[in-house]
């Protein structure tokens, strides 16, 4: 598709049109974005109306959450990250919400075939169970990120945001985002929201920013459409043998748990791995001396909702804490 090719060259296009000595005006970036969208399935009127209120947004230097305050480059970061973020208060909030909304959890699982503990955990890691996430005008944020040459923003993000702004299903809800251009309580990309938004409470609008059921259902629908396996979990922490080849940490090949067991891997508590034909691969964001996991294919889908393996592991870890001990 045309927008896929434009996505890959968007930053290059803007870089070529602005010299190193003089950055181009924000208005010029907006014009280029509108020109790029003109090749897509959007009318000129839709594009002009969507961009009519776009303004450049500059982020302050204030770090207002634990993930921003921690040093991502620190060795052994996961050892610092997990106890700080997935602390007793967050676990208590997660389990309390799950128990108080057990009927909703069961209904979501039945409809979408996604274990609801992962949805709740995603909300907890994304926004620490904030009841609302109305932030900034999403198109202004994304356009500003493109202007700042952020490689994390594609023309697909811009196009999806405009489509959400013009969708009748969204009702009168303003399309807002956080500083990274992520939408709603679960910090989804515009494209992810567009692919599966759900008006779960049937009130006539998709409110992933202030209606928990809409937000959780939208994430569930997205994961389900991407191939979530309800019969599996996300992964497990393991121990490596002393003579383990460190080069294998970079190997993305899936092997069965039985094959990994034959290579000397064991559960973190010292027990043997299950002799199952479940496919798993190694995930070790801090290298050989950090925490090492065998992650299943569901972990890949969680990673699509998160910006780093640290976030995805935290979601899985919090989901485990929701599941055990059992909530009845």
Over residues 276-288, the mean pLDDT reads 92
Task: Say whether 278 sits in a helix, a strand or coil.
Answer: coil
Residue 230 counted as domain residue: no
Residue 182 counted as domain residue: no
Give the number of residues written for the chain: 328
Lowest mean pLDDT among 66-80, 101-115, 184-198: 66-80
Round the average pLDDT of the chain to a whole number and report it: 90
pLDDT tens digits for range 309-322? 999 999 999 999 99
**Per-residue pLDDT, 41:** 79
Task: Say whether 293 sits in a helix, a strand or coil.
Answer: strand
Over residues 50-78, the mean pLDDT reads 67
**Per-residue pLDDT, 62:** 46
Residue 222 has pLDDT above 70, yes or no: yes
* Phi, psi dihedral angles at 255 (to 5 degrees): -135, 160
Residue 176 counted as domain residue: no
Segment (H or E) for 280: strand 279-283
Over residues 289-312, the mean pLDDT reads 95
Collect all residues with Cβ–Cβ distance below 8 Å to 63 and sequence separation of at least 6: 69
**Per-residue pLDDT, 199:** 97
Residue 4 has pLDDT above 50, yes or no: no
Tokens at 143, concatenated? 């356009």
Domain that holds residue 286: 235-295
- Note the pTM of the prediction, 2 decimals: 0.90
Tell me how many domains the chain contains.
1
Residue 129 counted as domain residue: no
Q: Which of 60, 55, 63, 14 is nearest to 35 (CA)?
A: 14
Over residues 211-225, the mean pLDDT reads 98
pLDDT range class, residue 18, cuts 50, 70, 90: very low
Residue 198 counted as domain residue: no
pLDDT tens digits for range 162-173? 999 999 999 999
Q: Which of 144, 149, 143, 159 is nearest to 14 (CA)?
A: 149
pLDDT range class, residue 40, cuts 50, 70, 90: confident
Residue 287 counted as domain residue: yes
**Per-residue pLDDT, 21:** 42
pLDDT range class, residue 59, cuts 50, 70, 90: confident
pLDDT tens digits for range 91-103? 999 999 999 999 9
Lowest mean pLDDT among 7-11, 100-104, 136-140, 314-318: 7-11
Residue 57 has pLDDT above 70, yes or no: yes
pLDDT tens digits for range 225-252? 999 999 999 999 999 999 999 999 989 9
CA dihedral 247, 249, 250, 253 (to 10 degrees): 110
Residue 265 counted as domain residue: yes
Residue 75 counted as domain residue: no
pLDDT tens digits for range 67-90? 554 444 444 689 888 999 999 999
């Amino acid at each position: 598709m045309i927008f896929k090719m434009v996505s890959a060259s968007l930053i290059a296009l803007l870089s070529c049109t602005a010299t190193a000595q003089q950055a181009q005006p924000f208005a010029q970036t907006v014009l280029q974005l509108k020109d790029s969208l003109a090749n897509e399935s959007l009318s000129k009127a839709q594009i002009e109306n969507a961009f009519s209120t776009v303004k450049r947004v500059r982020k302050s230097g204030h770090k207002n959450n634990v993930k921003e305050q921690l040093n991502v480059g620190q060795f052994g970061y996961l050892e610092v990250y997990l106890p700080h973020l997935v602390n007793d208060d967050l676990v208590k909030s997660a389990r309390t919400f799950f128990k108080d909304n057990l009927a909703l959890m069961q209904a979501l699982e039945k409809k979408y075939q996604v274990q609801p503990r992962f949805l709740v955990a995603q909300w907890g890691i994304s926004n620490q169970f904030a009841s609302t996430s109305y932030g900034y005008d999403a198109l202004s944020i994304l356009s500003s990120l493109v202007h700042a040459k952020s490689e994390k923003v594609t023309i697909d993000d811009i196009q999806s945001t405009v489509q959400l702004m013009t969708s009748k299903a969204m009702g009168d809800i303003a399309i807002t985002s956080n500083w990274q251009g992520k939408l709603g309580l679960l910090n989804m990309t515009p494209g992810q929201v567009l692919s599966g938004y759900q008006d779960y409470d049937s009130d006539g609008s998709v409110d992933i920013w202030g209606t928990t059921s809409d937000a959780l259902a939208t994430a569930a629908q997205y994961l389900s459409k991407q191939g979530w396996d309800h019969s599996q979990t996300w992964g497990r922490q393991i121990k490596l043998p002393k003579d383990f080849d460190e080069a294998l940490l970079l190997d993305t090949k899936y092997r069965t748990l039985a094959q990994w067991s034959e290579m000397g891997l064991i559960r973190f508590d010292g027990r043997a791995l299950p002799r199952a034909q479940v496919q798993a691969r190694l995930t070790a964001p801090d290298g050989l001396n950090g925490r090492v996991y065998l992650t299943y294919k569901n972990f890949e889908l969680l990673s699509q909702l998160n910006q780093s393996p640290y976030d995805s592991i935290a979601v899985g870890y919090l989901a485990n804490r929701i599941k055990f001990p059992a909530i009845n």
